[in-house]
Structure 1
């Protein structure tokens, strides 16, 4: 009689010391757990071997990306229960990794090993990054950006929708109504207003993606925009969009590292969702270089994901799954650290706006887009890559909702020696779409 699911559930509950708040369906067809609970599908014994050899986020990610694990029902509900019960350390709970190392867990661990079967650990899925060389050199940054963004423009069209904006949208209405495209338009407009863009000004968009910010600024505000990216695929797509809209006289798209931009001064710089790739060791260099590219009185809008500060900063580690499958070499800093580095570079920080809840809404829309066209996405980018994006975006939505990470727009000025910042006495005058 098939019994893998009851055995697995019993062993996990022994390890956790509490009832497992999930239903399990195993490779032999057996099921165990509350019938109304979200279901974790363990498709083969290989999934257990992955979790035993890497009992943390990376083992879970490898099993998911390889298709060894799946979900029936609400992915968010499964992630919440796994995160809260198995992977995160709480005040009165241990992670599964901690438990597996506990001498008192040996009997249950032996039971898991027996259930997993005698075999060597499976090789990581091919989507996993193999790190080479030093962090945040020009070469390593190009390689990391290519891994994430050169997945295929058609794939990103599915996820992002017509706006082709790959950063947090902004819902201007009192309630999160409206389409994703409207919210992305309002985010771009919000950035333009914070930067006080007017006809004839020069804008540098650092990490320009598929060109949406540069095109919006040129079309709606009459600026001359330069967008830079390290992705060849993004640049080719953006240039075609610019040409199709008749903006080639006002928008230039370059494949260029921010460290190599030398044609300042600019009136304004937008950096939207790019600074997470810079790295702590290079952040002051990044901020200083952008400061030098601005004319006196010029503004920087730095839109960046932030992590919560640690009591012991030396204990901070990069998320294993994100680092291996999504954003290689990416680093998140606390908001206070970012502001300090901008000020050290010479900027006067004038406004900080947290839009954390907006990113959760954005990510849920992206997940819905991907799920609606999952088969086509898998044909375009591969089933493994599609599973990576679905997991990372759903988990990130929960992280923003639970205040585990945040996202902030920091407006900073290269204030001239006269001290005249050029900002109004009441700075929050950049409302976009009126409700």
Structure 2
């Protein structure tokens, strides 16, 4: 097939009803599109079959993860250019099902199928999680989902996250480093929780132990950190021992539903609540409320989506659900605050740090790309490609205000109603 790129570009634009904002380079070496635009490289016909038989985000992701689709040029520029076709099509723009009712579009789809050629649709890449979405967020399914995401290998996470081993949004100031920004985020949370020597902190979803270690070392707090990841727990325990904090910090492989040894003075939940799920969220909030003593504080650090239609519904991203966070669900900020209040909490402060997450993700992508060959050896080429796409696309999503991240401070306010917080809550000692 000579000049496959021009034919592919023409047919794709007929189906999409919009011009392609990128240059195409096809498997035969041909190119079509603006010469100064970033290039989408369709390496083989299988890439086209993946996109045709699963149109939209998931088909593109499968082609990318398998290496059938490449990007030539700046990854962020390309994803930003594609956003209007994949993630941000206007409400009036017809979807593929509606579009194919047009005879001209149907004819273009038939030509694309001929161009893609046999055989039947290729199997998804092995990195894809394939399971029915039923019986979600049981202890068993949550443990399996957490293992898929976090048991990739601690060496891989060290490469991406850097020495802080903090896998959540950092808290930046101009000119700061990633390590400084992560330390400042942990200190901000400590200040909001009012941590003082002798208190007990429960760190839900403790990861590799960074918050637990910071709270114990810097504030003299006794900490119980819980995770469902065996690899995280082993790494965190070693870090705790190396810091000489085994008398203050206990790391458990434990579900939050199984914690029985309250009350705690404070609870931190940093980047964990996205895993809880819509059906379980109120139970999660009530469980944390019950684990706090009177006057105890909760700091809930959580990604949020923008409201779309029914604010009570949760959003599942096809690519992220299949490759990154199985069973993860994002809710609007208002829904989260409502659920915390229904559980009995008094919500005292909400801080959006959306731009901070975009900057954090760009630093993680830089770390990954700087040691790309080692990343592929550690996690495998497919998994490394998943992470590169996921983090770069997420950075753009935060920058374009499609998603946000918020720190919600809530209190188990005792009778007669004194929260114990300062009158001016934004005077955190950071």
When normalised by structure 1's length, the TM-score is 0.96
Write the distance in 1 (CA, Å) between the matches of 2:294 and 2:135. Answer: 35
Offset, 1:245: 1.0
Match in the other structure for 1:64? 64
Stretches of 4+ moved more than 3 A in 1? 91-104, 312-317
1:353 to 332, 344, 351: 351
Instruction: Within 5 Å, give how 1:112-261 maps onto structure 2.
Output: 112-132=112-132, 134-171=135-172, 173=173, 175=174, 177-261=175-259
Unaligned runs of 5+ in 1: none
Q: 1:94 to 1:75 in 2, by over 3 A?
A: farther
Alignment pair present for 1:54 and 2:44: no
Offset, 1:145: 0.2
User: Secondary structure of 2:421's match?
Assistant: coil
Offset, 1:311: 2.1
Write the distance in 1 (CA, Å) between the matches of 2:313 and 2:300. Answer: 26
Instruction: Within 5 Å, give how 1:11-410 maps onto structure 2.
Output: 11-95=11-95, 98-100=98-100, 102-132=102-132, 134-171=135-172, 173=173, 175=174, 177-313=175-311, 317-410=315-408
Q: Deviations over 1:256-294 (max 9, x none)?
A: 000000001100000000000001111111011100111
Alignment pair present for 1:413 and 2:411: yes
Q: 1:315 to 1:268 in 2, by over 3 A?
A: closer
Check conservation: 1:49, 1:116, Cα contact below 8 A.
yes
Write the distance in 1 (CA, Å) between the matches of 2:311 and 2:335. Answer: 11
User: Secondary structure of 2:401's match?
Assistant: coil
Offset, 1:89: 2.4
Write the distance in 1 (CA, Å) between the matches of 2:396 and 2:267. Answer: 31
Check conservation: 1:367, 1:390, Cα contact below 8 A.
yes
Q: Deviations over 1:316-337 (max 9, x none)?
A: 6411111111110011111111
Offset, 1:56: 1.1
RMSD: 1.5
User: Secondary structure of 1:385's match?
Assistant: helix
309-318 or 262-271: bigger deviation: 309-318
Offset, 1:304: 0.4
Offset, 1:10: 1.4
Check conservation: 2:305, 2:315, Cα contact below 8 A.
no
Write the distance in 2 (CA, Å) between the matches of 1:101 and 1:237. Answer: 55
Check conservation: 1:228, 1:255, Cα contact below 8 A.
yes
Check conservation: 2:286, 2:343, Cα contact below 8 A.
yes
251-260 or 82-91: bigger deviation: 82-91
215-224 or 102-111: bigger deviation: 102-111
Q: 1:340 to 1:266 in 2, by over 3 A?
A: same
Q: 1:102 to 1:430 in 2, by over 3 A?
A: farther
Offset, 1:223: 0.4
Write the distance in 1 (CA, Å) between the matches of 2:12 and 2:384. Answer: 29
Write the distance in 2 (CA, Å) between the matches of 1:75 and 1:98. Answer: 30
Offset, 1:86: 4.3
User: Secondary structure of 2:349's match?
Assistant: strand
Write the distance in 1 (CA, Å) between the matches of 2:290 and 2:300. Answer: 15
Write the distance in 2 (CA, Å) between the matches of 1:347 and 1:314. Answer: 19
The count of residues paired between Structure 1 and Structure 2 equals 429
Write the distance in 1 (CA, Å) between the matches of 2:65 and 2:167. Answer: 22
Write the distance in 1 (CA, Å) between the matches of 2:9 and 2:250. Answer: 57
Check conservation: 1:357, 1:401, Cα contact below 8 A.
yes
